[in-house]
Amino acid sequence: MPIYTFKDKQLTEIKSTHFGAEGIQERHDLQAALRDKITIISPDTLVIAEEFSEWTEGARRIDLLGIDKQANLVIVELKRDETGAHMELNHTEAEEYQVKVREQASAQRAAASSSKDKTKYQFLGRVYNKRQLVLAIVTHYLQIHPNITFEQLRQVFPDAIHSSYGVVARLEKAEAKGGAKRYFLNEEQLLKTGEGETIAVCNQWGIDNISPILEIAKSQGYQIEEL
């Protein structure tokens, strides 16, 4: 259906065009305009992130991520093609975004709580904070079980303990999924499995998620003293 302007009592049809002909780029122009005037499509919303991707290990990004006055997450996805298909975010995709973003927020809160909580732990004669303790526990386990495979290690330290990043990850995945902000990546901190794979240990640990790690250590007979 065409669009018309009304001026001087006359209706004039507006000629159709497309972004390419007008030199409009989706990310640099349209997305930026909506970011700066988000109330056009979502009143009472504050944009808190652009091209948000930390919730996933792949290339998928949330174009604009906001929050409204009721603390609900607002997700804006710019989807267009020549036929106008895929212009709506389906319900399943929206729910997945919500879950992943909330998991990421939970991980960030855990990291923040770790910086506030100063509890120390003694393990094998050394004193560690929570982040360092997890690295020490996984390192010690690999020293005792040098032939263990990566998948076997994940069974001992399940990804579900830290739903956003897992306890351990293959090096290439760790580098792509947050890098040194999320994993121990110094050369002396990287570990080797029995099959020769290089792995990294997640460093996002706080008072909210350290308990399952302590339970695993206890089940292995490790003596850990809270100081």
**Can you tell me the mean pLDDT for 198-223?**
94
The candidate with the shortest Cα–Cα distance to 60, out of 68, 51, 69, is 51
pLDDT at 29: 85
Q: Decide: helix, strand or coil at residue 57.
A: coil
Mean pLDDT (the chain, rounded): 84
Place 121 in a pLDDT band, splitting at 50, 70 and 90.
very high
pLDDT at 87: 45
Residue with the larger pLDDT of the pair 216 and 116: 216
3-state helix, strand, coil in the chain (%, to 5): 40, 20, 40
The candidate with the shortest Cα–Cα distance to 74, out of 54, 104, 33, 44, is 44
Residue type (1 letter), 198:
T
Q: How far apart are CA 201 and CA 141, in angstroms?
A: 12
Provide the CB-side half-sphere exposure for 166 (13 A, CA). 22
Q: What is the pLDDT of residues 15-58, one digit of tens each?
A: 888 877 888 887 778 888 888 999 999 998 988 888 776 555 55
Report in angstroms the alpha-carbon separations of 35 from 25, 54, 226. Answer: 14, 19, 47
What pTM was estimated for this model as a whole?
A: 0.55
Domain locations in the chain as residue ranges: 4-89, 121-226
The candidate with the shortest Cα–Cα distance to 216, out of 134, 142, 146, is 134
Q: Decide: helix, strand or coil at residue 83.
A: coil
pLDDT at 99: 66
pLDDT at 177: 86
**Residues across the chain:** 227
pLDDT at 31: 87
Residue with the larger pLDDT of the pair 85 and 201: 201
